[in-house]
Amino acid sequence: MSETTHTAHAEHPKDYTGAKLGMWLFLFTEVLLFGGLFILYAIYLQRYPEGFKLGGDQLNVWFGGGNTLVLLTSSLTVAMAITALQQGRVKASLRLVGATLFFALWFLVNKYFEWSAKIHHGIYPKSEHLKEMPGGEQVFFNLYYLMTGLHGIHVLVGAGVMTWVMWLIRKGKVNPDDYVTLENAGLYWHLVDLIWIFLFPLYYLIL
């Protein structure tokens, strides 16, 4: 403990523990939001195991798997951005947050093509084709659109947050002495990744 750290604390009396704890609390409400949907999934999987299997077979593992790699890598880049900023490498941090934003957009582009293909085949909520399908598959695809859609909105919000943080770093408002905003943005982004870690096997890999 040197004198300089004391004065630094006096100049920046930011409560890091409080700021991050607040973010974690918000993340727990997100977990409960998605948790409710996972309960729906579990109940209907138990009721319609055959329909869910047939539905899962129609999803493209390459889209799901590819997007898994994209999101895992984006989590790595945002974690590295925090390390870089802590070490005072501002430009590297900016580039890494930019990479995270790029991966977020890449994920959404993949999602666009994936959904377009499904919609082209007449599979979307309330479509005539879907109404003719057995009950289990109907529930599967409705839940698929609801959960991946809600997750997609979170990716979109995450992309917005990353853009905002990049602007803050550029302005010097987020810097090596004060970076809790980047940490909290990272926490949000990792939650988006965590939800996808469960969505991927439950929808694309179900046997």
Partner 1 sequence: MSTHEDKGHIIPNSTLVAVWLALLVLTVITVAASRVDLGALNIWVALGIACSKSALVITFFMHMKYENWLFRLFLLIALVTLAVFIGFTFFDTLYRQPI
Residues near partner 1 (CB under 8 A) are: 1, 5, 15-17, 20-21, 24-25, 28, 31-32, 35-36, 38-39, 42-43, 45-46, 61, 65, 68-69, 72-73, 75-76, 78-80, 82-83, 86-87, 183, 186-187, 190, 193-194, 197-198, 200-202, 205-207
The Cα-based distances of 44 to 30, 60, 90, 143, 202 in angstroms read 22, 21, 48, 10, 12
Q: For residues 125 and 201, which CB has a smaller minimum distance to partner 1 in the complex?
A: 201
Structure tokens at 86: 């802590």
Residue 111, amino acid: K
Q: For residues 55 and 186, which CB has a smaller minimum distance to partner 1 in the complex?
A: 186
Q: How many residues does the chain have?
A: 207
Q: For residues 79 and 130, which CB has a smaller minimum distance to partner 1 in the complex?
A: 79
Q: How far is the CB of 79 from partner 1 (least distance, A)?
A: 5
Q: How far is the CB of 191 from partner 1 (least distance, A)?
A: 8
Structure tokens at 117: 């293909």
Q: How far is the CB of 158 from partner 1 (least distance, A)?
A: 14
Which helix (H) or strand (E) covers residue 5, if one does? helix 3-11
Q: How far is the CB of 23 from partner 1 (least distance, A)?
A: 10
> Which residues have a Cβ under 8 Å from the Cβ of 113 and sit 6 or more positions away?
63
How many whole angstroms separate alpha carbon 73 and alpha carbon 66? 11
Q: For residues 69 and 119, which CB has a smaller minimum distance to partner 1 in the complex?
A: 69
Q: How far is the CB of 107 from partner 1 (least distance, A)?
A: 15
Q: For residues 83 and 116, which CB has a smaller minimum distance to partner 1 in the complex?
A: 83
Q: How many CA atoms lie within 13 A of 150 on its CB side?
A: 15
